[in-house]
Amino acid sequence: MVRPPSARSAVPGAGRLGLLDPAAADSLRTLGWDNVDSIAVLWALSRAPDADLALSTLIRVRESLGDEWAELDSAIRAETVLRGRLFALLGSSTAFGDHLVAEPRSWPLLRRAELPDRDELIADLLAVVGAEPESGPHAAPMLFRATESGPEVVAALRKRYRDQLMLLAAVDLAATVENEPVIPYEVVGRQLTALADAALTTALAVAVARVCRDEPCPVRLAVIAMGKSGACELNYVSDVDIVFVAEPADATATRLAAEMMTVGSSAFFEVDAALRPEGKAGALVRTLESHLAYYQRWARTWEFQALLKARPMTGDLELGEQYRAATDAMVWTASERPDFVPDVQAMRRRVEDLVPEELRDRELKLGSGSLRDVEFAVQLLQLVHGRVDPALHVQGTVEALSALSARGYVGREDAANLTASYEFLRLLEHRLQLQRLKRTHTLPAADDEEGIRWLARAAHIRPDGQRDAAGVLRVELRRHTGRIRRLHTKLFYRPLLESVASIDSEALRLGPAAAVRQLAALGYADPEHALGHLRALTSGVSRKGRIQALLLPTLLAWLGDTPDPDAGLLAYRRVSEGLNDQDWYLRVLRDEGAVGQRLMMVLGSSAYLPDLLINAPETIRMFADGPEGPLLLRPKPAEVAGGILTAADRYDDPKRAVATARSLRRHELARVASADLLGLLDVPRVCVALSSVWVAVLEAALRAVIRASVAERGAPAPADFAVIGMGRLGGMELGYGSDADVLFVCDPRPGEEEHVAVKWANSIAEQVQKLLGAPSTDPPLQVDAGLRPEGRSGPLVRTLAAYDAYYRQWAQPWEVQALLRAHQVAGDEGLGLRFLHTIDPVRYPSGGVSAEAVREIRRIKARVDSERLPRGADPATHTKLGRGGLADIEWTVQLLQLRHAHEVEALHNTSTLESLDVIQRTELLDVEDTELLRQSWITATAARNALVLVRGKPSDQLPGPGRTLSAVARVAGWPSDDGGEFLDNYLRVTRRARAVVERVFGV
């Protein structure tokens, strides 16, 4: 029979209360709460963040109290405030549950109406050790001497500190269970800081008693709070950062400081003095003069950033105030230091790098969109503008955000949103730490449903009708971290845009001087010009100006992370002005986030690409992602080459045909260079793509010239004509700065006079060179036939028979070596293949190259090493001719080809990398040696290509340490922009490869 609704028990059972522990019903009976009189208590228990944990802990508390349980039970039933605090505390923290079980008679503390103020906290902890004001010549209002200083005081202080922390946590958590006021985040932070001040004041009192037993304290000692303690925004579990100042800084002062840290770390929390000058390697205690001397001469930017939060905490407060006053002047001029911007940026990157990849999405403090993002941004703006605006000389993050907003450096709405997101993440951080009183900033794993549910309830997050509490928490986390990431960029750039554009008539705006200061701090070397570019981009009242003003905060943030923001901003302005009449451009930047980010990276890193993009703007569309990945990777070299030939073949006029081929080459260069710079293409694929487009343009030009000649003659061509690629073109290993080394070969057709055919072929070759070498805004197309027989003094074109005769009779060892890279690339394919078959016996001689030829090659190599390096070049860092550079690797591979290709057919190969694969496979060199050669070739090629991309012109010499080297490092694919690390790696790789080269050439 179905029980009627009226028969349902009024007393909720364990299931209705959300209790999952099988023993829950028995526990409720044990507590005497399974009755009508306990309904309010039961429903309150159900609202605890972890009701099962709260219930099981109450059972343990009951056992600890014994007969005294009745008093607590009565209080729970009668006092809503106590009930809310107790249940919330026990359902949130196993650590405080254990404390209450161990000290069950501490529960009446939770009845207290108001939280104790700082003075009461100090008095309460000092009373534990019977402290009295210190007397003598160095007496100070915050310097005391304990009358109880034995080992037992540590346990007594730990208990009293934990009691006070428990009261604060209970009051902070109570609103999750009962309708109690929610304590603002700032109040919690100030209360925790006041408790820390009281704790270390007491620790110092014990230290005075232990170190100065029989005399008044003989030194002045000030304790300076740093970090979150200095800013009065401590967490429940934090290291407390401090610095000591003493007069004199003698052995007694050092012992006092060390003893204070020992007592504090044993009784309360970890006390950390690592922010002192020279860190842990420096003296624990210094005089004020010594501190100032260090900061004036040696301190790095991050140390001044740390001093921003310095606050006299305890001890000799007068000396502490002198320290703060003296260091303040240095703090507020730190932004003028030449290394200010790179130091701040490098420190932020180092902090992010400390977070393991698998934890970055769960890290509240250090990841992207985290607490540290807010703190770094706020501190940077304070340091930039605080030099001229004393209103920003505040220490707390929220307080500073409010000051920045009030003074117009941050938009009011942005400041309010950022504050809300910061406080939300700090709330989650506090709840995570309260659980076990451990220092943690890591969210539960995504699959930890129970952990996420507990955190949501502890943070007073409730279901919203569509999602449970855990689902709401996930949504809120995404919203707040995303907002921090977004506002982190707007924080710097939105006020700049408001200062030059009419975005919001109600918005406070930066003045010109403040805007220049801010741009300088963000890495712009010429902030006045940068401000001019911003004005130009957002000028007028057009829709495009308004869209630019909305886009620029994010674009500028991305640009600020590039090696040359100034050049990037100028290039962006030029691109934007060039596309002013095209609607798609700003729409793509607005709707495709990846496009804007990639475009800024390209423009701020490369002097080679901006002109290409201005002349080939459609490439910018390809910065987007498609269904199969980045669109920049979609075209294949063979498809691109076919498109160039098809388009050029539409024109009979050679000039128009070549212009069309050049235009398509421009698009392809822009695509390949962009993909390369963005790390989407590796070195071999870049080389193949560049070589392929070069070959296609050469073929298109040759076809057009021959078509025009045939039309002009009114008769077929008198000869077959082929172009043989040499050097890197023959090996399909061209770089951005490479010329096209070629040989021109012709073969008279039947019935044609040889001199007529050769004359015609020479005119064709000259026209091809002239058309392709004509001045242009594009990277040049130089066709170089200098490797032909007899060099530049020999005929430009020879017949196949003439080549055969020359190479069989007159070829020098260096010419034979050059033929190893010969490959048919354009013109008549049959003739090209006949040429290759003709030279095969020369370059792959039966029995291998002679010992005399090897000696000659070694002699030439030695001469190249000593004579061909440009004047003033550094042989260690010249990518082409330097030690372990491209020439070293290629000569080594070619010597092995000359000696072994007659027996290893796979060495009939024009590619350096493919030949190295064969050398390794056939064990001509050890695996380790071939890997060293391969790595060096790729490293040098990447560096050489990066030099062109960064500088915009061919270059083989790596620059010295500085901005350009850092840019080359990033473009070459180094994981950071630390040019020194990149250079060290380059030297290490090429040095080891050079050892292999010397071994091979020394055989």
44 burial (CB, 10 Å; 0-12 / 13-18 / 19+) is buried
User: Residues 197-207, buried b or exposed e (16+ Cβ, 10 A)?
Assistant: bbbbbbbbbbb
- 342-351, 380-389, 437-446, 707-716, range with the lowest pLDDT: 342-351
Give which of 553, 630, 562 is closest to 594, Cα–Cα: 630
Please tell me the predicted confidence (pLDDT) of residue 8: 61
User: Tokens for 835?
Assistant: 């040429």
Rounded to an integer, what distance in angstroms lies between the CA atom of residue 806 and that of residue 813?
A: 13
Please give the backbone phi and psi of residue 220, each rounded to the nearest 5 degrees, phi first: -95, 130
Mean pLDDT, residues 192-221: 96
Residue pair 693/701 in contact (Cβ under 8 Å)? The answer is no
pLDDT score of 5 more than 50: no
Strand pairing category for 740-748 and 311-315: unpaired
Q: How confident is the model at residue 412 (pLDDT cuts 50, 70, 90)?
A: confident
> 3-state DSSP call for residue 467?
coil
- 174-188, 384-398, 410-424, 510-524, range with the lowest pLDDT: 510-524
pLDDT tens digits, 684-729: 999 999 999 999 999 999 999 999 999 999 999 999 999 999 999 9
pLDDT score of 504 more than 50: no
Which pTM does this prediction carry?
A: 0.75
pLDDT tens digits, 304-339: 989 999 999 999 999 999 999 999 989 998 877 777
Q: How confident is the model at residue 7 (pLDDT cuts 50, 70, 90)?
A: very low
Q: How confident is the model at residue 541 (pLDDT cuts 50, 70, 90)?
A: low
- Write down the residue that tokens 């006021």 correspond to: 181
As a dihedral over the C-alpha atoms of residue 28, residue 29, residue 32, residue 36, rounded to 10 degrees, the angle is: 80
- Write down the residue that tokens 């002239």 correspond to: 770
Q: How far is CA 894 from CA 236, 816, 817, 847, 910, in A?
A: 68, 10, 7, 16, 9
Please tell me the predicted confidence (pLDDT) of residue 792: 87
184 burial (CB, 10 Å; 0-12 / 13-18 / 19+) is exposed
Please tell me the predicted confidence (pLDDT) of residue 318: 97
User: Residues 901-915, buried b or exposed e (16+ Cβ, 10 A)?
Assistant: bbebeebbbbbbbbb
Residue pair 772/783 in contact (Cβ under 8 Å)? The answer is yes
pLDDT score of 342 more than 80: no
pLDDT tens digits, 456-502: 999 999 898 889 999 999 999 999 998 888 887 677 776 777 666 54
Residue pair 950/964 in contact (Cβ under 8 Å)? The answer is yes
Q: Between 373 and 178, whose confidence is greater?
A: 178
- The overall average pLDDT reported for the chain is 91
pLDDT score of 653 more than 90: yes
Rounded to an integer, what distance in angstroms lies between the CA atom of residue 993 and that of residue 938?
A: 12
Please give the backbone phi and psi of residue 783, each rounded to the nearest 5 degrees, phi first: -100, 115
How many helices (H) and strands (E) the chain has is answered by: 41, 14
How many angstroms from the chain centroid is the CA of residue 684? 26
Give which of 218, 292, 280 is closest to 255, Cα–Cα: 218
Q: How confident is the model at residue 408 (pLDDT cuts 50, 70, 90)?
A: confident
pLDDT tens digits, 94-136: 999 999 999 999 999 999 999 999 999 999 999 999 999 999 8
Mean pLDDT, residues 335-360: 71
pLDDT tens digits, 511-539: 788 888 888 877 788 989 998 998 888 87
Q: How confident is the model at residue 506 (pLDDT cuts 50, 70, 90)?
A: very low
Rounded to an integer, what distance in angstroms lies between the CA atom of residue 594 and that of residue 574?
A: 20
Residue pair 786/792 in contact (Cβ under 8 Å)? The answer is yes
Please tell me the predicted confidence (pLDDT) of residue 311: 97
Residue pair 416/491 in contact (Cβ under 8 Å)? The answer is no
Please tell me the predicted confidence (pLDDT) of residue 540: 63
As a dihedral over the C-alpha atoms of residue 833, residue 835, residue 838, residue 843, rounded to 10 degrees, the angle is: -100
Please give the backbone phi and psi of residue 453, each rounded to the nearest 5 degrees, phi first: -65, -45
pLDDT score of 505 more than 60: no
User: Tokens for 866?
Assistant: 């000593």
Give which of 500, 768, 753, 538 is closest to 657, Cα–Cα: 768
Q: Between 525 and 789, whose confidence is greater?
A: 789
User: Tokens for 650?
Assistant: 């539409």
Please tell me the predicted confidence (pLDDT) of residue 507: 46
Phi-psi region of 465 (alpha: psi -120 to 50; beta: other; left: phi over 0): left
pLDDT score of 3 more than 50: no
Q: Between 871 and 178, whose confidence is greater?
A: 178
pLDDT tens digits, 132-179: 999 989 999 999 999 999 999 999 999 999 999 999 999 999 999 999
Mean pLDDT, residues 560-565: 87
User: Residues 919-941, buried b or exposed e (16+ Cβ, 10 A)?
Assistant: bbeeebbeeebbbbbbbbbbbbb
| Sheet strands (E) in 166-291 | 220-225, 240-247, 271-272, 285-286
Mean pLDDT, residues 349-365: 74
pLDDT score of 778 more than 50: yes
Rounded to an integer, what distance in angstroms lies between the CA atom of residue 215 and that of residue 134?
A: 10
> 3-state DSSP call for residue 815?
helix
Q: How confident is the model at residue 555 (pLDDT cuts 50, 70, 90)?
A: confident
Rounded to an integer, what distance in angstroms lies between the CA atom of residue 31 and that of residue 28?
A: 5
Within 10 A of 650 (CB to CB), how many other CB atoms are there? 9
Rounded to an integer, what distance in angstroms lies between the CA atom of residue 879 and that of residue 889?
A: 11
Rounded to an integer, what distance in angstroms lies between the CA atom of residue 942 and that of residue 415?
A: 44
